């Protein structure tokens, strides 16, 4: 039976890089995005490169609890094949706690934290049965505050905390749990920047770090991966 990876927010940036790399490794893909056009485009691209790889997707906004549940139910129709979960869905809205617009806090918690919590809980029966691997896409904002980070930092600190709790809960069940904490990465979040590209990490590097942690023996878990541009934080 083929192995499958579930990646939330799999059509852009780091999520897309992870999807493409794991497809290259022979994994079937289960993903979601708010854009059907992006999903269909990625499906066509992957199927042209890998005729043997299955690409299953659902259009969903994981900031919405009901759509999270719909995605969980969709993914669990493939429960026997799920080996990896990457909670990648996220949003960054710059601002400070003292002046953020009303609703920004809730939006970032719903997108960056609550979605990962509910997706993980929903897929845990499959991951425990298959002795799978959970990756949570945290951030260097999970371990250091940014003045203009506001609710984003709050959500990412909390996601790292959730990852640590999961690690303790699941170690005896054979499920590995890893926090990925990348710094500035060349994704849509930095669209329009005037900074040179070499000040950013390529998304493919994050994907290769995820694969390297997964590819270790089941006797070893990489608990945390912190990655920054060679020239440091921006």
SS3 content of the chain, % helix, strand, coil (to 5): 50, 15, 35
The predicted pLDDT at position 191 comes to 66
Q: Helix 13-24 to helix 203-214 angle, to the nearest 10 degrees?
A: 50
8 in any annotated domain:
yes
Q: Is residue 76 part of a domain?
A: yes
Residue 182: strand pairing partners: 227
Rg (CA), the chain: 17
Would 233 be classed as within a structural domain? Answer: no
**168 within a domain of the structure (yes/no):** yes
Please say whether the beta carbons of 90 and 149 come within 8 A: no
Which residues of the chain form beta strands (DSSP E)?
A: 4-8, 28-33, 55-59, 82-87, 133-137, 176-182, 224-227
Q: Give the pLDDT of residue 189.
A: 67
CATH number, residue 48: 3.40.50.720
CA distance 155 to 107: 10
Question: What is the model's pLDDT at position 216?
Answer: 98
Residues of the chain falling short of pLDDT 50: none
What pLDDT is recorded for position 195? 81
Range of the domain at 93: 4-227
Residue 138 lies in a domain: yes
Q: Is residue 146 part of a domain?
A: yes
By DSSP bridging, strand 55-59 and strand 28-33 are: parallel
Tell me the C-alpha distance between 78 and 230, whole Å. Answer: 39
DSSP 164-198: HHHHHHHGGGT-EEEEEEE-SBSSGGGTT--S-GG
Residue 232: inside a domain, yes or no?
no
**Amino acid 138: pLDDT:** 98
Q: Is residue 234 part of a domain?
A: no
Bridge partners of residue 57, in order along the sequence: 31
Q: Does residue 94 come out as left (phi exceeding 0), alpha (psi in the -120 to 50 range) or beta?
A: beta
Count of the separate structural domains present in the chain: 1
Predicted confidence at residue 80, as pLDDT, reads 96
> What per-residue confidence (pLDDT) applies to 190?
66
């Amino acid at each position: 039976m083929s192995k499958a990876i579930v990646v939330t927010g799999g059509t852009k940036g780091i999520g897309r890089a992870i999807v493409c790399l794991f497809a290259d490794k022979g994994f079937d893909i289960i993903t979601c995005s708010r854009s059907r056009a992006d999903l269909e485009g990625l499906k066509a691209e992957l199927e042209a490169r890998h005729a043997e790889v299955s690409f299953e997707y659902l259009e969903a906004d994981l900031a919405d609890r009901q759509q999270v549940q719909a995605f969980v139910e969709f993914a669990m129709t493939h429960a026997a094949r799920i080996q990896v979960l990457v909670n990648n869905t996220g949003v960054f809205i710059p601002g400070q706690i003292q002046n953020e617009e009303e609703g920004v806090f809730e939006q970032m918690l719903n997108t960056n934290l609550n979605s990962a919590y509910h997706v993980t809980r929903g897929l845990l029966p499959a991951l425990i049965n298959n002795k799978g691997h959970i990756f949570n896409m945290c951030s260097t904002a999970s371990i250091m505050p940014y003045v203009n980070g506001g609710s984003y930092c709050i959500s990412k600190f909390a996601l790292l905390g959730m990852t640590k709790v999961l690690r303790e809960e699941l170690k005896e069940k054979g499920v590995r749990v890893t926090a990925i904490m990348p710094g500035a990465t060349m994704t849509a979040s930095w669209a329009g920047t005037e900074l040179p590209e070499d000040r950013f990490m390529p998304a493919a590097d994050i994907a290769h770090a995820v694969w390297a942690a997964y590819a270790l023996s089941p006797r070893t878990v990489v608990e945390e991966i912190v990655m920054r541009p060679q020239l440091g934080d921006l």
